[in-house]
């Protein structure tokens, strides 16, 4: 599913600090993306500061494709999405990161090639860069503090790619390896407690006993108990009885 | 909708570098979150390096609540979620960031209070910290390169919070009128059982005592306990002790 062609290229356009290129590489690889492209990095290429920062994701820098301008960088792609802070009145579809990466997934599954553009640290993409794109990605930041940096923007898009790629079991991944107690096991636990608490005089006064027993039954049945939990809770009660019997 | 109580607290547990606390504050505020709590920051508090890094989100540092330990930091919360890289065989529900923030949203909409725990930079949360939590958040990173830093982890959770906050929450049949037990109430229940079971000789042999105590703590924190449940469970233990004392 994620062969050479099975993922979008992330294109850093005129990035300034080498460290940020390295941090972007890490953010990509955190979510399994390794196709980086660079357009006119300010401090030339290769860049030792990038390598130092990328530790563990240096392979992405080695494999990065270098281009003179945006049209050249995305020439082989048929869906190009530009990340921008403001949509700036451009008449283009604006996607959330989630919708964008879903669209990227669909296009790639259909045999297409996708690029995502990220602008320079301070200024962001220029209008001429955005003009090449088919759509805009806008991260839903706090309007009072819309200060995502380059690597953070890359991180969020990479994260959404991984979610869209379906490599993520999205819902609650249930208790890894846990075995849930069966109803009959919970029932026996309830009986154990009920029996011992009866002996111990817990269900008092008499006319409240039935309601108290029901409360306790509901408590056990409502809990997400594993087999281990049930064993532990049996152990708790058994020990209290043993303690009593030792006198 | 997002007043003082309308959002989760993000709790940084024993953070090391002041810069990372500042970066975490920025990441939170990027997505509109401003309730930060700190447990034993390594370099003391306040920390000038944090302030320098937080520029624009310094208000979060000024308002950060400082605590001695995790139970104190989350004592007023009734849903506590711990971010960890590995689920480490803990028998707790594991959530994706998306599912976790949806659960947080639902709990807060129902009048509850939610905390999300983030561990120290290198080591992550300790088992004793995770034992206080009701569930685990696991970011679906590339298993070959699972190297998210603190601020990145905060960023992804804050981003998912904002997404969850904007969505229409599905109708769910929550326990009608149930009041969830707060963490401090569950903590006291755990202490009550631990103390009495210790007297009763439950934690035997000695070299297994710590692990047994952790198992029991995890059991309580993992259960969706209401205040009524906690009262009932205190009653159960109190009665067994009374029975023993009657001889």
Give me the mean pLDDT over the A206-224 stretch.
Answer: 88
Q: Which residues contact A147 (CB under 8 A, 6 or more apart)?
A: A141, B26, B30, B56
Residue of B26, B162, B232 with shortest CB distance to A216? B232
B93, B50 contact by CB (below 8 A): no
C-alpha B15/C-alpha B44 separation (Å) is 10
Question: What's residue B178's pLDDT?
Answer: 67
Instruction: Give the pLDDT band of residue B224 (cuts 50, 70, 90).
Output: confident
Residue B244, CA distances (Å) to A94, A157, A198 in order: 70, 61, 14
d(CA A145, nearest CA chain B) in Å: 5
A154, A161 contact by CB (below 8 A): no
d(CA A233, nearest CA chain B) in Å: 9
pLDDT above 90: residue A181: no
pLDDT tens, residue by residue, B97-116: 999 999 999 989 988 899 99
Question: What's residue B90's pLDDT?
Answer: 61
Question: What's residue B222's pLDDT?
Answer: 83
Task: Among A89-93, A162-166, B19-23, B130-134, name the one with the lowest average pLDDT.
Answer: A89-93
Dmax (CA) of chain A: 87
Nearest Cα neighbor of A134 from A109, A113, A154, A119 is A113
Contacts of B237 in chain A (CB under 8 A): 240
pLDDT above 70: residue B210: yes
* % pLDDT > 70, chain B: 91
B141, A30 contact by CB (below 8 A): yes
pLDDT above 70: residue B145: yes
Give the strand pairing for A94-95 and A135-137: parallel
Instruction: Give the pLDDT band of residue A247 (cuts 50, 70, 90).
Output: confident
Give me the mean pLDDT over the B47-64 stretch.
Answer: 96
What is residue A210's three-state secondary structure?
helix
d(CA B96, nearest CA chain A) in Å: 6
Residue of B92, B156, B247 with shortest CB distance to A175? B92
pLDDT tens, residue by residue, B180-195: 888 899 999 999 999 9
Which of the 8 DSSP states describes residue B182? P
B232, A219 contact by CB (below 8 A): yes
CB contact B211 to A (< 8 Å): no
Question: What's residue B180's pLDDT?
Answer: 84
C-alpha A66/C-alpha B7 separation (Å) is 44
pLDDT above 80: residue A104: yes
Q: Which residues contact A3 (CB under 8 A, 6 or more apart)?
A: none
C-alpha B204/C-alpha A227 separation (Å) is 21
B78, B112 contact by CB (below 8 A): yes
Dmax (CA) of chain B: 66
Question: What's residue A175's pLDDT?
Answer: 55
Compute the Cα dihedral for A177, B150, A56, A165 and give only its sign: positive
pLDDT tens, residue by residue, A36-81: 999 999 999 999 999 999 989 999 999 999 999 999 999 898 899 9
Give me the mean pLDDT over the B17-45 stretch.
Answer: 97
Nearest Cα neighbor of A26 from A68, A66, A58 is A58
For domain A9-164, give its CATH number from 3.40.640.10, 3.40.1280.10, 3.30.70.3040, 3.40.50.970. Answer: 3.40.1280.10
Task: Among A17-21, A160-164, A215-219, name the one with the lowest average pLDDT.
Answer: A215-219
pLDDT above 90: residue B2: no
CB atoms within 10 A of CB B11: 25
CB contact A76 to B (< 8 Å): no
Question: What's residue B88's pLDDT?
Answer: 61
Which of the 8 DSSP states describes residue A205? S
Question: What's residue A87's pLDDT?
Answer: 59
Interface TM-score (ipTM) > 0.90? no
Domain edges within chain A: 9-164, 183-246
pLDDT above 60: residue A176: no
Whether the model clears a pTM of 0.90, i.e. scores above it, the answer is no
Please give the full DSSP string across A109-177, using - where no structure is assigned: HTT--EEEEE--TTT---HHHHTT-SEEE-----TT-----HHHHHHHHHHHHHHHTT-S--S-B--TT
Say yes or no for a CB contact (<8 Å) between B242 and A200. Answer: yes
Which residues, in sequence order, are bridge partners of residue B83?
Answer: B137
CB atoms within 10 A of CB A96: 15
Which of the 8 DSSP states describes residue B178? -
Say yes or no for a CB contact (<8 Å) between A173 and B96. Answer: yes
Contacts of B95 in chain A (CB under 8 A): 172-173
Give me the mean pLDDT over the B146-151 stretch.
Answer: 92
pLDDT tens, residue by residue, A132-154: 888 899 998 998 998 899 999 99
What is residue A30's three-state secondary structure?
helix
Q: Half-sphere exposure (CA, 13 Å, Cβ side) for A224?
A: 14
Say yes or no for a CB contact (<8 Å) between A224 and B224. Answer: yes
Give the residue from B243, B245, B247 with the most A CB atoms within 10 Å of its CB, the best one to mutate: B243
Nearest Cα neighbor of B80 from B31, B8, B152, B153 is B8
- What's the mean per-residue pLDDT of chain B? 89
Q: Could you identify the residue written with the tokens 């290198």?
A: B122
Question: What's residue A3's pLDDT?
Answer: 42
B82, B137 contact by CB (below 8 A): yes
Question: Hey, what are A195's tokens?
Answer: 């029996």
- Among the ranges A129-138, A177-186, B86-95, which has the highest mean pLDDT value? A129-138
Residue of A145, A152, A171 with shortest CB distance to B99? A171
């Amino acid at each position: 599913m994620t062969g050479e062609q099975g993922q979008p290229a992330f294109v850093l356009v005129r990035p300034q600090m080498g460290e940020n290129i390295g941090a972007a590489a890490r953010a990509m690889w955190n979510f399994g993306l390794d196709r980086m492209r660079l357009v006119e990095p300010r401090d030339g290429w290769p860049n030792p500061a990038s390598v130092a920062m990328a530790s563990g994701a240096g392979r992405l820098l080695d494999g990065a494709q270098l281009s003179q301008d945006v049209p050249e960088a995305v020439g082989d792609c048929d869906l190009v999405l530009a990340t921008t802070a403001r949509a700036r009145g451009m008449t283009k579809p604006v996607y959330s990161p989630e919708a964008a990466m879903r669209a990227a997934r669909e296009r790639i599954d259909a045999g297409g090639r996708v690029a995502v553009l990220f602008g320079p640290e301070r200024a962001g993409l220029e209008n001429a860069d955005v003009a090449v794109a088919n759509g805009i990605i806008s991260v839903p930041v706090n309007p009072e503090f819309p200060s995502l940096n380059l690597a953070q923007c890359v991180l969020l898009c990479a994260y959404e790619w991984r979610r869209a790629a379906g490599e993520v079991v999205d819902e609650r991944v249930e208790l890894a390896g846990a075995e849930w107690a069966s109803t009959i096991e919970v029932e026996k636990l309830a009986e154990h407690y009920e029996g011992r608490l009866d002996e111990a005089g817990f269900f008092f006064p008499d006319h409240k006993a039935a309601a108290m027993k029901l409360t306790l039954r509901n408590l056990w049945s409502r809990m997400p108990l594993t087999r281990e939990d049930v064993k532990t809770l049996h152990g708790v009660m058994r020990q209290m009885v043993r303690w009593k019997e030792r006198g």
